Amino acid sequence: MQTFKVVKPGLFTTIQDLGRPGYQRFGLPTAGPMDSYSLRMANLLAGNDLNAAALEMAFAGATLEVMRQTVVALTGASMQAALNGANMPAWQGVRVREGDRLELGSAVEGVYSYLAVAGGIDVPPVFGSRSTDVLASIGGIEGRPLKSGDIVETYAPEDLPDEIMLKQDFISSFPPKTLARVIMGPQDKRFTAAGLDTFLNSIYKVTVNVNRIGYKLEGPQIEHLEGADIITEGQTPGAIQVPRDGRPIILLADRGSVGGYTKIAVVISADIRKVAQSGPGKEISFQAVDLETARRAYREEEAIFMLNRRLLFEP
């Protein structure tokens, strides 16, 4: 069903579901959302499976013309959203009607916004996912970001959800300073004690070199023991690679499946989105934690979705 006409595409708007696991050994990144919490929350509010495809908008959002009545939910970065010129609330279901105009501006806080639609976006899955991967030219609409004139189709929802509202506790904010918890390694042994100390006790600033592949940081130089190169190996989401210049790069959704630089640590799953929502100029520092702490944080996040499904939808 035709649901939106793209009037203005925004800076970099792609269709994303929870990503494309299973193909890293063929050289494909996992793609998927930069902020999976916000995508899942948008889907929950729109009455969808958490893995349904939605719009991910970076830095500056899209302008859309609504082609039929449905319910949408906007989460993630706050982008001065307007519905027919009036302020549109985020983190809740909003009913929209044919002819409505949905307009998103620049991100005031955070980087990535998500707009989910009841039923989920209807594009053919490629290798099991609807996520756009612009390098491999797959997923989304023709494997590319949206452009003006695109029609976004959605599946027919079983029935339209109410305009439910999320409790304040579950609404994310994106502060200018982020503490990212990390699991040290796999190549932490390739750094000097001073280098490790620098990494864990400095404040890094996000540069303008940020995209879905990764974020380059600036700050004190992290000292290697002997060189920054390793034999090429796979790299996981959140991996912090430190090339020769000693400044970290945090690898995110569209990272290459393999790489040849030392990785000092990996951001824990629950904190990857905090990094992704920290745009240029924002500060990031790192704290080493153990696997049990990471696992607990992961489980807590999963539990939030189970809890909210009950809170919001069960009588």
Partner 1 sequence: MDKTDLTPTYLPSGDRAVLVQFAPKIDAAINRYIHSLCSKIDDNPFKGLIEYQPSYSCLIVHYDPMLLTYNEVTAYLEKIISITGSDEELSSSVVEIPVCYGGDHGPDLPFVAAHLGRSEEDVVACHTGENCLVCFLGFTPGFPLSQAPEKLAGVPRLETPRTKVPAGSVGVVGNQTGVYPISSPGGWRLIGRTPLKLYDPGRDEPFLVKPGDYIRFKAISAEEYAAISAG
- Decide if residue 125 touches partner 1 (CB under 8 A): no
State which residue, 18 or 107, has the beta carbon closest to partner 1.
Answer: 18
CB of 89 to partner 1, least distance (A): 32
237 counts as binding partner 1 under rule CB under 8 A: yes
Residue 258 in tokens: 């393999």
**Residue from 236, 246, 283, 288 binding partner 1 (CB under 8 A):** 236
* Interaction between residue 242 and partner 1 (CB under 8 A): no
Is-contact 54 261, C-beta < 8 A?
Answer: no
Q: Does residue 192 touch partner 1 according to CB under 8 A?
A: no
Find the shortest distance in angstroms from Cβ 258 to partner 1.
3
Rounded (5°) CA angle 285-38-168:
90
Stretch that binds partner 1, among 71-79, 96-104, 157-165, 250-258 (CB under 8 A): 250-258
Q: Which one among 1, 27, 84, 227 touches partner 1, defined by CB under 8 A?
A: 27
Region from 23-31, 37-45, 58-66, 79-87 binding partner 1, contact rule CB under 8 A: 23-31
Burial label for 186, CB within 10 Å (0-12, 13-18, 19+), is middle
Binding partner 1 (rule: CB under 8 A), the pick from 227, 232, 245, 311 is 232
Near partner 1 by CB under 8 A: residue from 49, 98, 233, 300:
233
Contact status: 229 vs partner 1 (CB under 8 A): no
Return the range that interacts with partner 1 (CB under 8 A); candidates 61-69, 113-121, 130-138, 145-153. 130-138
185 binds partner 1 (CB under 8 A): yes
Q: What is the layout of strands, in order, in the sheet containing 101-103?
A: 86-87, 82-83, 101-103, 63-66, 2-8, 151-153
CB of 228 to partner 1, least distance (A): 14
Binding partner 1 (rule: CB under 8 A), the pick from 40, 216, 263, 274 is 263
Which of 49, 234, 244, 313 lies at the binding interface for partner 1 (CB under 8 A)?
A: 234
What residues form DSSP beta bridges with 112? 58
Instruction: Examine residue 310 and tell whether it contacts partner 1 (CB under 8 A).
Output: no
* Binding residues vs partner 1 (CB under 8 A): 21-28, 126-127, 135-138, 183, 185-186, 230-239, 256-258, 263, 266-269, 291, 294-295, 298-299, 302
